[in-house]
Structures are given as C-alpha cells and as structure tokens.
Chain A
C-alpha cells in the first residue's frame, strides 16, 4: 500500500502527542508536515523532536506540501467546522478529534461538506482500538452474559485545562457560552465535553440508541473553572437498557503546562471501567488496567504507569485503510451524531432538572 501523506494541524488538543510515535512508525503513513495553532503549541511540539517540519500557517503548510492527502485535526472544538470545510475544499481526508461540534446545524454542515468532497472523515474515538474493549465486544457478541439489561461506566480523568486551556473555555469547548442552569455561574463545556467515549461505547455494545437521559452536576472540585467538572448521567436506551455514567474530571492534577511525569495527584489519572449486566451474567472490566505502579520521582506519590496504551495504532491503521480502500470508518460523522445529541441532552437535563428525551 502506498503510504498516505499525512499532516497534523493545530496541535492544541490533549491527544496531540499520542499520535507522534504512530505517525512516525507506521509504514502505511508518511508524516510530512505539521501546523501549529500558535507559537506556544509550536514550542511544545518541538519538545518532542519529531523531525517533521512545523508551520504557523495552514496555507503555507499546504503550499509547501501540496502532496498532503490527509490530516489529523488536533484542535479545539470550535476550530473543527472551519478546518473540516477547508480540508473538504482541498480534498484532504480528515481524522477529527472526538467532538466535531456540539452545534447540530454545524454538525450537519460538516456531514454535507464531507459527502460533497467524497473524503474520509473519521472521528477519534480510540476506545474501539483498545484490546479490552475488543474482548468485551467479543464476549457480548458470543452471548457470554446474554441480553444486556444495564451498563455502568466511568470515563473519569484529571482535568487537562491547565495544559490545554481551551478545554476550560465554554466558547472553545462547547462552541458558545451557555449557562449550565439558572443561578449557576458555570457554563457548558467541561468534563462532559471531554468524555464522549462511554456514550459511544454503549451504543456499540447494545446496538441501541439513547431514549432519555437524566444528568446532575455537583459542586466543582476546581471552583475557579467556568465549566463543570463533576457530573453524573443515567437513563435508558431505546431497547430498555438502563445505564449510569460518570464522565467527570474527578481525579486531581498538578497544574502542569506540558503533560509529563507527576501530572497526577490521584494514582490513576484516567479510568474507563465498564460493567455490563446481562440476563445470564455480569462483565466487570477495566479498559486501562492492570498496569505497573511506582512511587518514585518526581512527586513520590503512588502512581499508575500506564503499560498497555496503543489505541492510536489501530485507529490510524483504520484511517489509512479507509483512505486507500475507499471505506467508511467505523466511527464516522453520521454514526457519531446520536452520541453528540445524547451529550447535548445531558446538558439540557442539567438545565431543566429533569430527564430529557434524546432527539
């Protein structure tokens, strides 16, 4: 297979650095250029010494590298619409971060632009390439626990806002400033926006879409944030499956500007645990465990050293394969739309104080 000429754009998303090794090592790809959102993002990028040239202008990057076939849009949520449209105009395939947009009209405009250009647009929901999730899907498909009746899941992390400030800015994260509810100074755009994975996974595991959700925010652990950091969600799917999710930023962090050792205060900075209750049994799973552990430098705190962390390898494989073989990615814009709608319904529920039907 001819390697796909690929570039990265913006470099401001929290997942940016996770692509570097994969883009450099995978023979299906030829990583030719990067384009940083600003000088700070460029300087952070340069710390990793990838050897791939980095520009501060998209136009300059595309002019100097007219052979770019695909890009990873590693940008804030409010940049996605314009970037997807520009890539569609150029006929460049797109790997978008996990929230294309919370504005459903904008979301539909992206679908239209991608369809018209005939490009591949894959959404970065890397859990699908996690081997534990792979096993979960297999066990469920084989009927290990029978028909699913309930799913409980956590998608809890530290807050990345100190390293990636846009994630704490309502306009950049949610797309506009929308108060959480009457009398609450906080706005939409926090932890929920960072954690779509379990909303997506439950649809895959059950084959059903959301019926209604109920959501409640708690007092922030970080009172200075403009956005929510603690919330809970429950509800039902259209097939009757009950669920309860925790998509919070419930693990505290050191306020590092660049993620690195010592970032976490709680030993495990990121957890996706999924419990599936079926008519014939129960599956209890930890998608990021077990690991190895230490209490050494720099903070002498007990720390999980993530040991099996290669979701990006499989995701990029699929992206390159879809480009060369003209296939639709598993997580495409259309598939992902009901997940975004469910997350919006969570915010509506917070605002109303009652359950909300997912439209």
Chain B
C-alpha cells in the first residue's frame, strides 16, 4: 500500500469537503485493512468494506426495505496470500453490519490454515454461510460473492449466471486479456484496497462518532473470529454472550 499517497489523498478529500484533517494513516500489518487511522485522541481500526460502494448499496437495499424479511446471508471470499482470520474477520463484520444483529453462534469446518466454512446464527434468528479461502494461487484475482436472501427478493454483488467478478474493461491483445474495474474518479489510480481505506478514514474524520462504533465492532468481531476458529479444532459450536462487544 502507498500509505504516503493515501495520506495525501485523504488530505485532499478533507480539504475539498471542508473536513478537519485530524488524523493520518499508519501502516499496521495486524489490521485487516493493513493500516490504522491515528487521530489526536487514539488509534482507530478501519473497516473499509463498510464504505465500499457495493456493500454500502447492499446495506441500503436492506435498510430501505427493498428486500423484506431477510432470512439468510450467503457470503464467500477466496484470495491469495491472505491470513485466514483476516478473511473471516471481514465477512463476519459484513455479516453483523448487514444483518443489523450480532453473531450469537458459529460452527466452523476448517481445512488447515487456508480454508474455513462457517455457519452463523444471529441474535435476530437470521443465518449466514461464510466461505473463506486463502488458497488461491499467488497472483490470482480475488473472487467473492455476497448474496442476501429475503422473503421478498434476493440481492447480490454478482450478476446472475456468473461465478466470478465482472470487470468494466477487458483489454484483449496478443499478450492475453487484462481487466480493469475503476470505481472512484476522485481516487483514480489507487488500488481498490487503497481507495476504500482512504474512504474509510475520510468517513471517520467526517463523522467522528464512527470511531467509537468501529472500535467496538472490531473488538467484538476479532474475538468471535478467534473463538470460531479455535472451536473448529474441537468440533463444537462457538456461542457468544450478548455483551461480547463491551
């Protein structure tokens, strides 16, 4: 990640939208985002997926009641060179955020340190399947899918009849096919991971109340991921008390 460039972009956004530049990004390999936001008060864990547009739109589809009576989430992610717990962490946080309810119980079927298949039960009774794999070969593009199934309607970030993410541009030349998907004109040139991280930091600086919300969420999800993966070794479900966020 180009942290220096990301900080410059963050300052530019703050300047443009009249937001105080009260923080900077610092590289942190322990964070799922790869960086943390250092503000005057404290360090803030970033949850970039919560500002990633496709997830924001899916959340909006739920919250606006375009879908009615959500029942089940079916989430999957496959990546190369990732830490399994980081993959599960993102999906668990997306689960709780989309469901609007904490995870109460999980049961994981794990293969080595690369793959986890988890069934999740939320406090509100909804279910989720979470498929995480860090087993893609080096250099392979990430494959993921997030489907929300409701009594009225299904929403998904992948178009029907496709199994892999589509691209905006396919460049077909004698060297093969290259794909490009650019989604943010203001941050053009950054990678997706960098874009959503800058956007997440900007969201926190613009709405400082998010810092406490994200800290609480991050703390709870981290614990749930650890317990879920640990319980898989003993083949028992992990059950979480209501106050695990505290």
A→B interface (CB under 8 Å): 25-28, 129-132, 134-136, 139, 144-145, 261, 280-287, 289-297, 300, 302, 305, 307-308, 310-311, 313-314, 317
Chain B nearest CB from A260 CB (Å) reads 11
Provide the residues of chain B in CB contact with A261, threshold 8 Å: 66
Provide the residues of chain A in CB contact with B15, threshold 8 Å: 27
Provide the residues of chain B in CB contact with A284, threshold 8 Å: 169-170, 172
- Of residues 154 to 178 in B, which have CB atoms within 8 Å of A's CB atoms? 154-160, 165-174
Provide the residues of chain A in CB contact with B156, threshold 8 Å: 292-294
Additional pairs, 12, CB under 8 Å, beyond known A289-B166, A291-B57: A131-B182, A131-B185, A132-B180, A135-B180, A282-B171, A283-B170, A284-B169, A293-B158, A300-B153, A307-B53, A311-B185, A314-B186
Instruction: Count residues of chain B with CB under 8 A from any CB of chain A.
Output: 41
Provide the residues of chain B in CB contact with A134, threshold 8 Å: 182, 185, 188
A sample of 24 inter-chain contacts (CB < 8 A) reads A27-B18, A28-B16, A134-B182, A135-B180, A144-B171, A281-B173, A281-B174, A282-B171, A282-B173, A283-B172, A285-B170, A292-B58, A294-B67, A294-B154, A295-B154, A296-B61, A296-B155, A300-B153, A302-B160, A305-B57, A305-B61, A310-B185, A310-B186, A317-B16
B→A interface (CB under 8 Å): 15-18, 53-54, 57-58, 61, 65-68, 150, 152-160, 165-174, 180-186, 188
Provide the residues of chain A in CB contact with B150, threshold 8 Å: 296
A28 to B57, CA, bound (A): 27
A300 to B157, CA, bound (A): 17
Tell me the total A-B contact number using a CB cutoff of 8 A: 130
Provide the residues of chain A in CB contact with B18, threshold 8 Å: 27
Closest residue of chain B to A25 (Cβ to Cβ) is B17
With contact pairs A27-B16, A296-B66 given, residues A313 and B154 touching in the complex (Cβ less than 8 Å): no
Chain B nearest CB from A278 CB (Å) reads 9
**Contact among B66, B159, B160, B165 with A297 in the assembled complex (CB-CB below 8 Å):** B66
A291 to B168, CA, bound (A): 10
Provide the residues of chain A in CB contact with B67, threshold 8 Å: 294, 296-297
Chain A nearest CB from B166 CB (Å) reads 4
A347 to B66, CA, bound (A): 42
Closest residue of chain B to A131 (Cβ to Cβ) is B182
Provide the residues of chain A in CB contact with B184, threshold 8 Å: 131, 308, 310
